[in-house]
Structure formats: C-alpha cells, structure tokens
C-alpha cells in the first residue's frame, strides 16, 4: 500500500513539475453572426483552449503555480463562408508581483486582423515551417509573444528565444493571403510588433520591461520608495525610445497596459518625483494626459 501511495505521489509530482507553461483563459464570441450554429463556436473555444494550454511551448519545467496567466478574447464579426471567419483577437498577459496579491498587466493587445478557417472536429495543427493554417499561426505567434514578454520581466532580454520564434512565424507568413503579417499593411500589426521588440535600436524598451517589473514592482512590498524610484527610472528608457521614433507600436502597447497602473503607483509619490514622472508622461503619452493629471492632483507624501 505504501509503495502504491509513493508511486502515485511521484507520478503526480512529475505531472506538476512538467506542466505546460500557459494558464490561458479563452473566450470566443460570435454574437454578431446571425443564424450560425452556436455549438460550432463553443467547440472552437474548447479547441483553442486545448491548443494554448496543452501544448509544450518551451523546454523549461513549470509547476502549476508558475504557469503564465493570460487571456484570449476572439470576437468573430463576420462569417465569410461555411468555415471561414473574420474578426479580432485581444491578448492579455498578467504577472503576479512578488510578496503581494497584486497582478500587473504586462500586455493588452487588440489585433483587428483576425481571419481564420475552422472546421469543427478537425484538430488544430501548427507547423513551425509553413503558413498553411492562419488560425494556429496567430495563436502560436501570440503564445510566443506572451512567453517573450513574461520572460523579459524576470531577466534582461530573457524572452529573446520566444520573440525569435514569433518572428519566424511572421517570416513564414509573408505569402499568406490574410492580413496582419506584412510591413506594408499597417504600422501596428504582428509584423511591426515583433520588429519593434527585436530591433536593437529600441532595446531600451526591453530594459524598461525588466526594470519596471523586477526591480520596481517586485520590491515595492518591502521597499516602496526604492521600487517606485526604479519604475520612474525605467520611464526614461521609454522616453529614449520615444525620442528615437514616437510612433512605435510597442510604445502604444506599453501604455495600453500600464497607464492606469502608473497613476496608482505615482499618486503615492513625493512631489519632486511626481513632477519628474509627469514631465516624461506628458511628453511620451499625451493621449492619456487626462489620466495622468490625477498624479499631479494627488496629495502623495
């Protein structure tokens, strides 16, 4: 009996140790498509969930608690044919902050170039060297982007191997008929996302991601002033990138994820630090200026 219990313990420990990397919530919404088979979309949601969560994306071992938390929301707006759909995909990545119950939003991307073919009960198959299936190409691309950004927040440029895998998917999709993969189609699509991240001219952005999270948020529970100061310093990296090219897609992505959080962090800051941060934010993210006014209006310390 003891041997059986020990064997089961070892078995379940091994499963936990080598669990897949993502804890991904998936929602497929097709409310705008009238008269369609609703069960088809429920099956699609289930298949995408299995694809994201049951595939091994890295060579690293993850425990269940270490899984990367993310959300995918697919809105299908149009049924082009019996098995082809068009809409958008929104991808969110969150990350726990050390020594706290707080989770920070690392990514919040909405991609309007979502178009796919899906046949119910056909397995979702991803081929790293081809562009035969746009649905799995998009899903795999964002899986690697999620991994890349998560790893970047724990070690300097730690996500490079996964960003390079995402770049390979972009390269393989240059002949795809679907949009979202090519430079000339838009300045803010999957091509430019990965180009911006891996472009050495904008490497200060990735420095910011590490400093902001690992040296900033992660130490704020024990050293709030030091953590906040490091976050303020990380914004200088964003300023450097902005002055090099103000229209970068990754800058929009950063503030889409962080604008509200920055207000919360620096509303409790010292006056001189608030002023320095406000000066940077007013320059690099004027579209959220009304939000940042709350920093100036706060009493702080």
pLDDT digits (tens, 9 = 90+) for 30-48: 999 987 788 999 999 999 9
In this prediction, residues 6-14 reach a mean pLDDT of 39
Q: What is the pLDDT of residue 129?
A: 86
| DSSP 8-state symbol, 62 | B
3-state SS, residue 20: coil
How far apart, in whole angstroms, are the C-alpha atoms of residue 264 and residue 257?
13
* Confidence label for 299 from pLDDT (cuts 50, 70 and 90): low
Residue 72 in contact with residue 50, Cβ under 8 Å?
no
| Nearby residues of 249 by Cβ (< 8 Å), 6 or more positions away | 187, 188, 189, 192, 193, 196
CA dist 249 → 168, 191, 252, 297 (Å): 19, 10, 5, 30
**Backbone torsion region of residue 157, taken as left when φ is above 0, otherwise alpha when ψ lies between -120 and 50, otherwise beta:** left
Taking 70 as the threshold, does the pLDDT of residue 87 lie above it? yes
Q: Which two tokens stand for residue 288?
A: 């959220």
Taking 60 as the threshold, does the pLDDT of residue 8 lie above it? no
Taking 60 as the threshold, does the pLDDT of residue 1 lie above it? no
Q: What is the pLDDT of residue 149?
A: 98
Start-to-end Cα distance in the chain: 62
| pLDDT tens sequence across 180-218 | 999 999 999 999 999 999 999 999 999 999 999 999 999
Taking 80 as the threshold, does the pLDDT of residue 57 lie above it? yes
Picking from 9-23, 93-107, 220-234, 241-255, which range would have the lowest pLDDT averaged per residue?
9-23
| DSSP 8-state symbol, 67 | P
Q: What is the pLDDT of residue 277?
A: 97
CA dist 169 → 109, 141, 223 (Å): 18, 6, 41
Taking 70 as the threshold, does the pLDDT of residue 270 lie above it? yes
Taking 90 as the threshold, does the pLDDT of residue 253 lie above it? yes
Closest-CA residue to 111 (of 149, 139, 147, 144)? 139
Q: What is the pLDDT of residue 3?
A: 42
Q: What is the pLDDT of residue 81?
A: 94
Q: Which two tokens stand for residue 234?
A: 């990380």
Domain positions in the chain are: 204-301
In this prediction, residues 18-29 reach a mean pLDDT of 90
Taking 80 as the threshold, does the pLDDT of residue 2 lie above it? no
Q: What is the pLDDT of residue 296?
A: 85
**Helix then strand then coil, % of the chain, to nearest 5:** 55, 15, 30
């Amino acid at each position: 009996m003891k041997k059986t219990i020990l064997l089961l313990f070892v078995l379940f420990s091994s499963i936990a140790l080598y669990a897949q990397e993502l804890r991904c919530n998936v929602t497929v919404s097709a409310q705008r498509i009238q008269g369609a088979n609703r069960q088809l979309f429920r099956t699609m949601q289930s298949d995408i969930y299995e694809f994201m969560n049951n595939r091994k994306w890295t060579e690293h071992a993850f425990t269940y608690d270490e899984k990367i938390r993310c959300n995918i929301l697919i809105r299908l707006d149009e049924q082009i044919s019996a098995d082809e759909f068009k809409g958008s995909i929104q991808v969110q990545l969150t990350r726990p902050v050390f020594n706290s119950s707080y989770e920070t939003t690392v990514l919040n991307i909405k991609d309007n170039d979502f178009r796919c073919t899906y046949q119910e009960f056909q397995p979702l198959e991803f081929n790293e060297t081809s562009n035969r299936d746009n649905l799995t190409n998009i899903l795999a691309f964002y899986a690697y982007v999620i991994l890349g950004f998560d790893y970047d927040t724990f070690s300097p440029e730690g996500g490079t191997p996964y960003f390079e895998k995402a770049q390979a998917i972009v390269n393989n999709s240059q002949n795809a008929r679907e949009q979202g993969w090519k430079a000339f189609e838009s300045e803010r699509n999957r091509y430019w996302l990965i180009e911006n991240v891996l472009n050495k001219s904008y490497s200060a952005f990735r420095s910011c991601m590490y400093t902001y999270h690992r040296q900033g948020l992660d130490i704020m529970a024990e050293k709030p002033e030091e953590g906040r100061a490091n976050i303020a310093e990380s914004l200088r990296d964003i300023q450097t990138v902005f002055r090099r090219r103000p229209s970068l897609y990754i800058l929009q992505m950063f503030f889409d994820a962080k604008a509200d959080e920055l207000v919360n962090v620096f509303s409790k800051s010292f006056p001189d630090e608030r002023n320095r941060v406000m000066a940077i934010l007013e320059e690099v993210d004027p579209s959220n200026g009304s939000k940042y006014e709350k920093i100036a209006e706060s009493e702080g310390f």
